[in-house]
Structure 1
């Protein structure tokens, strides 16, 4: 194997891109946006999801988000990260390039960006967490695809089963996260506080979700999907091979069962079933979305609307946070705590349409999103043009 120099390192060539993966990323961003929008404009972490939203229309929309989006898209995004991680490894090693040094730079950039994100923009960051899970994946990446999937299943089902059994005896207990003082504090700070006060509250909210024992749960709530993604990539699933069609159709059916599980808390008034809704139903619905899009692309059709968004996933993700906080925090328009779910949904759809149009327009002139461009230069330690080479076409990277 020839030793590769720094100058030979380069992003993925245009003909190597998997368009269905881009579309899946775009769909995942839309789903995550539906969940995040509620957190942008309301103290979502601290409210009673059953009664806080008031009238029937807003509660209906919240239930719809709960059923179709909540806990159903971060597993998909995590899966795609693991899938792209393995693709990057394969392509670098096939070209004789050093995978570890490249991926370490890539993950360190993501780590730094995540810290900036949850410190200066929004507490609900996923980039910091993904970078940590990426470093952890390095210890498993040499394993066979089947083994990766088995380890992922073990971690995932252990978490699902243990907490379901632990919560069963407390079916009638009042374990609500409704916290009036935290709600009042959030509305006061985000709605009328200074930037420094908002930053302190933002860090407090981030630690509430990610700190202490909650951070350890990431091993069971995020990392399994990284393993699934890497395992699926090693097995060659979702790569366009028609021989995998029967398997993907089976996954579609299994994934559809997730909707049944996600409805269960509306039938059984139990915190144990609320746990199942997110920990088991959510990931299965992710599999349904993943399989559905894959089958669509097997049929020869494409969803370019989601592809455009997915090719600039990192830029678009950060733009959603920037817009969301500007609209609702005091240093922007200061609408925090005064917007209903229905208004948030309308704003979300409008901005997502603008993101689609903006991504399409940007990619006509440029090869990468602006954040992706910087990320790639850090990753490959090389400066290269962001402008599109019309003779070669787009060369957007698939990971």
Structure 2
């Protein structure tokens, strides 16, 4: 008998996918490097305001929610396997390797903004924490968060060489992604000519150091999610309602203040601290607010729609890439670079609404999505996707 899914967690996962889509639309439309060189695209004041809205309220905040839930689900998976008398190690190894494989296929053939490869890779790092107590996980999470805050102090000025390389790459990317064929776009994405290759030069060591730190920016949310699962948080939303409200009032204002300071004072020594620490903190606030509303309105249509998308999160994540690359790339509608950030928000809402509808209809006939079933088959090493009781 399979353990019952935590509805709030599925609904939160769907909610996070909505935010991830809105944030990723900046990359779909402007490219991985173009989204941070937005002046190249000469946005109107209205579209620039929409761009800043996404940066403050969405970007760097919804991915940590998804990360938190990855850690949460990891512990629940381990508990489920152990309840059947099996050791979890090889189940997890297969799962992480499959995520790595799906991520590599996704980034090579569809879109460069993949996160599955990162999740599969960091999963092996999480082995060291699976058997730790909740208190230990929380302490490690706080320590890593503080470490990132400290190392984020100071500003890094790009060299003229770096600026030239990035601007040239963005210009070339815009032309190819907007007008190129599928093969041309794939070759450009995978040929290793992006500005990151310059980070191996001796004058770009600081920026390469920042790239190395990125996994540790996300790691605290994995650990907090694992601790939450061990404490069985989210299992009884109505009983935890007051706690959600308290955390919402603390983390949302704090996260927003940090992110706003980070974006308003981009050239200050504190900017990176605000952006890097503000995102995860705001994520905790969003989760608390969502859980607070869910605790009294769990049967409302929006929450049930989010839940449906969340149950099919892997399939829906990949489909977002397929849909959006078709809209923006040359082998589709070719709207790359000139669609507008406000319009991208609107199209994001439409795409997600369609995913909500299709996911709800799909789950009336099937229990799992195609990619969810594939991952389950590989993880459990069983054609029916079930863990054999020992």
TM-score category by the smaller chain?
0.7 to 0.9
- Report deviation, 1:290: 0.8
Distance 1:43 1:320, change over 3 A: same
- Report deviation, 1:123: 0.3
- Report deviation, 1:338: 2.5
Counterparts of 1:138-287 in structure 2 under 5 Å? 138-164=127-153, 166-167=154-155, 179-203=166-190, 204=192, 208=196, 213=209, 216-240=212-236, 244-256=240-252, 257-265=254-262, 267-287=264-284
Aligned to 1:334: 334
Aligned to 1:19: 7
Hey, what's the Cα distance between the residues in 2 that align with 1:149 and 1:82?
A: 12
Hey, what's the Cα distance between the residues in 2 that align with 1:367 and 1:77?
A: 21
**1:340-390, CA deviations, whole angstroms, 9 ceiling, x for partnerless residues?**
1122222211111111110011001000111111111111222239xxxxx
* TM value normalised by structure 2: 0.87
Structure 1 window deviating more from structure 2 (262-271 vs 303-312): it is: 262-271
Distance 1:143 1:175, change over 3 A: farther
Aligned residue pairs: how many? 371
- Report deviation, 1:266: 5.2
Aligned to 1:357: 357
**1:39-85, CA deviations, whole angstroms, 9 ceiling, x for partnerless residues?**
11113523434684521110111111112101101111111000000
- Report deviation, 1:249: 3.1
RMSD value over aligned CA atoms? 2.8
Gaps of 5+ in 1: 1-11, 386-394
Aligned to 1:45: 33
Asked whether 1:382 is paired with 2:379, we answer: no
Kept in 1, the 8 Å contact 2:180–2:330? The answer is yes
Kept in 1, the 8 Å contact 2:148–2:277? The answer is no
Kept in 1, the 8 Å contact 2:247–2:285? The answer is yes
Aligned to 2:60: 71
Aligned to 1:35: 23
Distance 1:158 1:240, change over 3 A: same
* TM value normalised by structure 1: 0.85
Hey, what's the Cα distance between the residues in 2 that align with 1:50 and 1:338?
A: 13
Alignment partner of 2:346: what SS? helix
- Report deviation, 1:94: 1.6
Kept in 1, the 8 Å contact 2:237–2:294? The answer is no
**1:224-282, CA deviations, whole angstroms, 9 ceiling, x for partnerless residues?**
21111111212222221666444433321221121122221454353434313321111
Hey, what's the Cα distance between the residues in 1 that align with 2:262 and 2:210?
A: 23
